[in-house]
Amino acid sequence: MKPIDLALPGVKALTPYQPGKPISELERELGITNIVKLASNENPLGPSPKALEAIVAGLKDLHLYPDGSAFALRQALANHLNVSPNQITLGNGSNDVLEMVARTFLSDSSEALFSEHAFAVYPIVTQASGAKGVVAPCHDGSQGPKYGHNLDAFQQRITPNTKIVFIANPNNPTGTFLGRESLYRFLLNLPDHCLAVIDEAYFEYVDNDDYSNAVEWLNELPNLIVTRTFSKAYGLAALRVGYAVSSPEIADLLNRVRQPFNTSSLAQDAARAALSDRNYLELSIAINNQGLKQLEQAFRQRGLEYIPSVGNFITFDVGRLATSVYEALLHEGVIVRPIANYGLPNHLRVTVGNQDQNRVFIQALDRVLGL
Ligand SMILES: *Cc1c(COP(=O)(O)O)cnc(C)c1O
């Protein structure tokens, strides 16, 4: 027997997650420098100086295992979120937390539900656990924001086997979000054999009165799991720290499958420092708001349709298959993200960079599109 025949059925059919192209890879391939990468929703500000200080201070202890329970970071997060430390589960990125949720609750007799064009990790962790992924079509623009999650379509697809509903709020790669009232009502009506994961990876960036903070609903909704990350607004993508906030009961279950040392000591210390750095977070958000305006204006001026975004990225329509535009941008030294694997073959997703990076991207796009 070949190894592929020995693999679990869910694993056999898996396609690995496709990350944004690393700068070093493009340098190797094309022999160019001064590359602008706007492909992975990374923070253009660089890391918080406080996080860097914490890392330097922690280097002398590299021979020691980290605190597997991450006492100090969980305490800091608990204070920050006004919950108890036993409601927090840390992950090696929130990806790790999503996988823990799938491993804890899904089997080959269960279903997980997520939206069309939703974050790619939901189908991957679902399929790897042997469960069936069910896709709810997104809004077509008549009842809610085009490409946004359609909660009526979710509702209609809940069966007695549905164990998890994954909701990205806001969603990547569409940048759409759900209004507070409709999301709350949907969660309230969820049957009790069903858990809801609200993925708030871009929470800190969202500036809209109709946006919710799902952590506030945890006392009322025992089946709720909220995930967040230090990879985006807190600028620590390389260190891999994310977390779930849930009931203590769910946290206890997730902790049973969690690898004992899944976050490193440097990551824990840096995350705690970044959490305390209010100036850094405010500057991140301000740069993002400016950049969103800059990019939206550029798309409008050029007659390029884009999906209005509340995150740190924008997805825009190039009006034809986007692969050649993506490739041509690479030759201009600009890396964006093709999203055909999200069912959006004519769109590209660009991360909001700083003003200079955005300008380089816009100028490269003009050359590539002949504008
Ligand atoms: C970036 C992102 C994450 C976070 O990933 P990490 O593993 O924490 O780096 C989670 N969910 C969505 C929707 C994202 O876009």
Q: Domain count of the chain? A: 2
Q: Are residues 168 and 294 in the same domain?
A: no
Query: What's the CA-to-centroid distance between 3 and ligand 1, angstroms?
Result: 31
Structural domain for 333, as ranges? 3-46+279-369
The CATH number for 335's domain is 3.90.1150.10
Single-letter residue type at 286: A
Last residue of a domain, one of 224, 249, 276: 276
Q: Are residues 327 and 194 in the same domain?
A: no
Q: Are residues 295 and 208 in the same domain?
A: no
Q: What does the pLDDT look like over 262-295, one tens digit per residue?
A: 999 999 999 999 999 999 999 999 999 999 999 9
Q: Are residues 183 and 39 in the same domain?
A: no
Query: What's the CA-to-centroid distance between 294 and ligand 1, angstroms?
Result: 24
Q: Are residues 128 and 156 in the same domain?
A: yes
Last residue of a domain, one of 252, 276, 300: 276
Cα separation, 28 vs 175, in Å, equals 32
The overall average pLDDT reported for the chain is 97
Q: Is a pLDDT exceeding 90 seen at residue 16?
A: no
Last residue of a domain, one of 229, 251, 276: 276
Query: What's the CA-to-centroid distance between 370 and ligand 1, angstroms?
Result: 34
Cα separation, 151 vs 351, in Å, equals 27
Nearest CA to ligand 1 atom 14: 201
Cα distances from 137 to residues 157, 285, 324, in angstroms, run: 10, 31, 27
Q: What is the dihedral of CA 10, 12, 15, 19, to 10 degrees?
A: 90
73 domain residue, yes or no: yes
The pTM of the full predicted model, rounded to 2 decimals, is: 0.97
Q: Are residues 193 and 288 in the same domain?
A: no
The CATH number for 194's domain is 3.40.640.10
Q: Are residues 88 and 176 in the same domain?
A: yes
User: What is the DSSP secondary structure assignment for residue 86, as one 8-state letter?
Assistant: G
Q: How many CA atoms lie within 13 A of 21 on its CB side?
A: 25
Query: What's the CA-to-centroid distance between 94 and ligand 1, angstroms?
Result: 6
- Ligand 1 closest atom vs CA 168: 13
53 domain residue, yes or no: no
Cα separation, 347 vs 88, in Å, equals 36
Cα distances from 104 to residues 8, 62, 66, in angstroms, run: 17, 31, 24
Nearest CA to ligand 1 atom 4: 94
pLDDT at res. 18: 86
pLDDT at res. 358: 98
Q: Are residues 255 and 326 in the same domain?
A: no
